[in-house]
Amino acid sequence: MLKHAGPQARATVRVERSRDELRLTVTDDGRGAAADPGDGRGHGLRGMQERVAAYGGTLRAGPRPGGGFELSVQLPTGGRY
């Protein structure tokens, strides 16, 4: 994310776990680029969405209201943790 956020941007990573899901949230305070899924050939949002969906999860990404960008992934744990 910082690659697209700008040289002075900072990122925060938060991981939360419950019995049923794992949630990963990454935010930055950079330029807040639009949520472009990319062309599917690299490691862009579309590729991440496909990998998350393969495990039954969801991915949301987009600009934050106050600026910056947020990416959130939720993955089911099947009650295993």
Segments making up each domain of the chain, as ranges: 2-76
Closest by CA to 52, choosing from 18, 76, 35, is 76
Reported as a single tens digit per residue, the pLDDT across 11-47 is 899 999 998 999 999 998 886 665 555 554 556 889 9
DSSP 56: T
Looking at the predicted structure, is the pLDDT value of residue 55 above 80?
Answer: yes
Please state, in angstroms and rounded to a whole number, the distance separating the CA atoms of residues 64 and 66. 6
User: Is the pLDDT score of 61 beyond 60?
Assistant: yes
Query: Any idea which architecture 2-76 has in CATH?
Result: 2-Layer Sandwich (3.30)
Q: How far apart are CA 34 and CA 70, in angstroms?
A: 11
C-alpha of 61 from chain center: 6
What's residue 41's pLDDT?
53
Supply angle C-alpha 52, 76, 71, rounded to 5.
45
Q: CA 17 to CA 62: how far, in whole Å? A: 22
- Kindly state the percentage of the chain with pLDDT values over 90: 48
